[in-house]
Amino acid sequence: MALNKTALQQAIKDLRNIGIEDGDIDNDEIAQRLANAIEAFVKSGDVIVSGGSSSGVYKVT
Q: Taking the model in full, what pTM does it have?
A: 0.66
pLDDT digits (tens, 9 = 90+) for 17-47: 776 555 677 778 888 888 999 998 888 888 8
Choose among 1, 8, 4: nearest CA to 36. 8
Q: Vertex 24, ends 19 and 29: CA angle to 5°? A: 85
* Residue 55 scores a pLDDT above 60: yes
What pLDDT sits at residue 35?
A: 92
For 4, the enclosing helix (H) or strand (E) is none
pLDDT of residue 19: 62
pLDDT given at position 25 = 73
What is the sign of the dihedral through the CA atoms of 31, 44, 61 and 52?
negative
